[in-house]
C-alpha cells in the first residue's frame, strides 16, 4: 500500500493495510483505512488525509487502451477501431482503470483506435488518420487516433 499526499502527486510512504472501515463517507466519497507505516522520516502524522493506492491483483497479458478512447451508449461501452481508413464501432468490456489507461476485452493489441473527434464518427464512416501511424503507449494519440499498447 502506498500513501500519497492530498493531491495524489507525491508518494509519502509505503506500508501494509491492516483494516478498512465498512462505511463510506458520502460527503467525501472516502473510506477510512488503518495501515502500518514505519514513518522513519516523520512524513505522516495522526489523522492526516492521504490518498492510498492499494495493489489488489496484477493482471498479466491484459490489453490496455487510453480511457479517453472509450465511449458509452447507456450501459454499453465501445470504441472506434480504425481499419483501412474506416471507423468500425466495436463493443468492449472495460475492466480496471489506472493512470488514464483501462484494461479491456474486445480489442486486440495493435488495433488503431479513435481517441478524439467522436462527434464526427459513426460505424463505417470514412476517416483520415492525421500524422500517419500513431506511436504506441499511453502518451500516444493525435487528432483522430491512437494505438493500443
pLDDT tens readout for residues 78-136? 999 999 989 999 999 999 888 889 999 999 998 999 988 888 888 998 888 776 555 45
This prediction's pTM: 0.61
Neighbour count for residue 5 (Cβ, 10 Å): 14
Number of structural domains (the chain) is 2
Alpha carbon 31 to chain centroid distance? 21
The predicted model gives 50-67 an average pLDDT of 88
Is the residue at 32 inside a domain? yes
> Is the domain of 99 the same as that of 125?
yes
pLDDT at residue 11 greater than cutoff 60:
yes
Over residues 21-32, the pLDDT tens digits come to: 999 989 988 888
Region 52-60: what's the mean pLDDT? 85
In a domain, 46, yes or no: yes
Residue 23 lies in a domain: yes
Residues 38 and 75 in one domain: no
Residues 16 and 39 in one domain: yes
> Do 7 and 29 reside in the same domain of the chain?
yes
Q: Distance of CA 121 to CAs 30, 86, 118, 125, 131, Å?
A: 37, 10, 5, 6, 18
pLDDT for position 133 = 55
**CATH code of the domain covering residue 94:** 2.40.420.20
In degrees to the nearest 10, what's the CA dihedral of 9, 14, 19, 23?
Answer: 0
Q: Residue 128 belongs to what domain range?
A: 63-147
Cell matching residue 65: 487502451
Distance from C-alpha of 117 to C-alpha of 121, rounded to nearest angstrom: 7
Task: Establish if 141 belongs to a structural domain.
Answer: yes
Is residue 147's pLDDT more than 60?
Answer: no
User: Are residues 71 and 46 located together in one domain of the fold?
Assistant: no
Is 70 found in the same domain as 15? no
Residue 105 lies in a domain: yes
Last residue of a domain, one of 53, 77, 92: 53
Q: How many CA atoms lie within 13 A of 149 on its CB side?
A: 13
Asked whether the predicted pLDDT for residue 139 surpasses 60, the reply is no
Residue 7 forms part of a structural domain: yes
Output the pLDDT for position 82.
92
> Are residues 20 and 49 located together in one domain of the fold?
yes
Q: Which residue has the higher pLDDT, 57 or 68?
A: 68
Do 119 and 142 reside in the same domain of the chain? yes
Cα–Cα dist 65/138, whole Å: 8
Q: What is the pLDDT of residue 131?
A: 64
Amino acid at each position: 500500500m502506498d500513501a500519497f499526499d492530498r493531491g495524489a502527486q507525491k508518494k509519502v510512504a509505503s506500508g501494509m493495510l491492516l483494516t478498512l472501515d465498512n462505511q463510506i463517507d458520502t460527503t467525501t466519497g472516502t473510506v477510512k483505512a488503518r495501515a502500518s507505516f514505519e514513518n522513519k522520516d516523520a512524513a505522516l502524522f495522526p489523522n492526516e488525509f492521504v490518498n492510498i493506492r492499494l495493489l489488489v491483483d496484477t493482471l498479466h497479458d491484459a490489453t490496455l487502451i487510453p480511457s479517453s478512447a472509450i465511449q458509452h451508449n447507456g450501459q454499453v461501452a465501445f470504441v472506434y477501431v480504425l481499419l483501412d481508413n474506416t471507423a468500425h464501432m466495436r463493443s468492449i468490456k472495460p475492466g480496471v482503470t489506472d493512470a488514464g489507461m483501462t484494461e479491456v476485452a474486445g480489442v486486440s493489441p495493435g488495433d488503431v483506435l479513435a481517441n478524439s473527434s467522436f462527434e464526427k464518427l459513426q460505424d463505417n464512416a470514412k476517416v483520415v488518420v492525421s500524422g500517419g501511424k500513431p506511436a504506441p503507449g499511453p502518451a500516444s494519440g493525435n487528432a483522430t487516433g491512437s494505438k493500443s499498447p
